[in-house]
Amino acid sequence: MSEIAAIRAAGLTKIYRSGASELVVFSGLDLAVAEGEKLALVGESGSGKSTLLHLLGGLDRPTEGAIYFGQDDICQLPANELAEFRNRQLGFVWQIYSLLAEFTALENVMMPLLIRGQSREQAQPEAMARLEEVGLQARASHRAGELSGGEQQRVVLARALVGNPKVLLADEPTGNLDFHTGGMIMDLLDDLHRSRRLTSIHVTHNLQFARRADRVVALAQGQLVPASEGTHYV
């Protein structure tokens, strides 16, 4: 793991406003994640973990603050450049699988490359290689609804990796799975993090899974703090 920050958030503030009222999710957050680091982010429901992950992934913009990938503040990018940055630099894994039900596993994995402008002929071999990487090549022609929850999450992992991202962001990747299947997905995430030399941030309620990370931080009362032993985050 490098000492160079792959991701750095400075003075991050997110406020939701509705009429005259406002909800401050967090204010003035600072966070640095080193190249190659695997960071687990824990906290009670409603603490803002997913909001923070969405900001770091360029899916939302902060009210104030900056988010640096290397020397570039992605908060300053126009929408089209930010979308291209997400497509080429980031991989996303969500609790809700967000697969396109009418498409096969292979077609779902191909999607980021098709969005990039590649032809189906160009995208298919890479997508099949990623399905093989997660052990699901035999299910490539099956539609999403024909796959188990664990299989669907492996398809999501393959889709996240197909563009060869530098950073993997996962929001409760085992939240819809039983403990055994969730453990298998975490094993796979660990293996892929190492083999691909990724920088990874995982949001999770499960402290047993969180402790697999290089570092565990908690978002509590709008502040990032070291996670406490024995604390339950539900």
CATH code at 78?
3.40.50.300
pLDDT tens figures, 95-110: 776 899 899 999 999 9
Judge whether 144 lies within some domain: no
Return the closest-CA partner of residue 203 out of 8, 57, 35: 57
pTM of the entire predicted model: 0.90
Judge whether 59 lies within some domain: yes
How is residue 218 written in tokens? 């908690």
Judge whether 231 lies within some domain: no
> In Å, how far are 68, 74, 131, 226, 229 from 11, measured between CA atoms?
11, 14, 39, 18, 27
Q: How far apart are CA 98 and CA 72, in angstroms?
A: 29
Judge whether 79 lies within some domain: yes
Q: How far apart are CA 4 and CA 11, in angstroms?
A: 19
Mean pLDDT (the chain, rounded): 91
Q: What pLDDT does residue 152 have?
A: 92
* CB neighbours of residue 146 within 10 Å: 13
Q: What pLDDT does residue 206 have?
A: 84
Average pLDDT of 10-30? 93
In the numeric block, the tokens 């539900």 are attached to 234
SS3 content of the chain, % helix, strand, coil (to 5): 40, 30, 35
How is residue 5 written in tokens? 């920050």
Judge whether 211 lies within some domain: yes
Judge whether 200 lies within some domain: yes
Average pLDDT of 140-159? 93
Which is higher by pLDDT, 50 or 232? 50
Q: What pLDDT does residue 158 have?
A: 95
Q: How far apart are CA 141 and CA 106, in angstroms?
A: 6
Q: What pLDDT does residue 189 have?
A: 92
Structural domain that includes position 85: 5-96+166-226
* Cβ neighbours for 113, distance < 8 A, ≥ 6 positions apart: 122, 123, 126, 127, 162, 163
Judge whether 10 lies within some domain: yes
Judge whether 220 lies within some domain: yes
The pLDDT-based confidence of 230 (bands split at 50, 70, 90) is very low
Lowest mean per-residue pLDDT among 27-31, 93-97, 114-118, 123-127: 93-97
pLDDT tens figures, 164-173: 999 999 999 8
Q: What pLDDT does residue 4 have?
A: 79
Q: Are 33 and 52 in contact (CB under 8 A)?
A: no
Taken in order 208, 210, 214, 218, is the CA torsion positive or negative?
negative
Q: Where are the beta strands (DSSP E) in the chain?
A: 5-18, 21-34, 38-42, 64-69, 72-73, 90-94, 167-171, 199-203, 215-220, 223-226
Domain count, the chain: 1
pLDDT tens figures, 179-207: 888 899 999 999 999 999 999 999 998 88
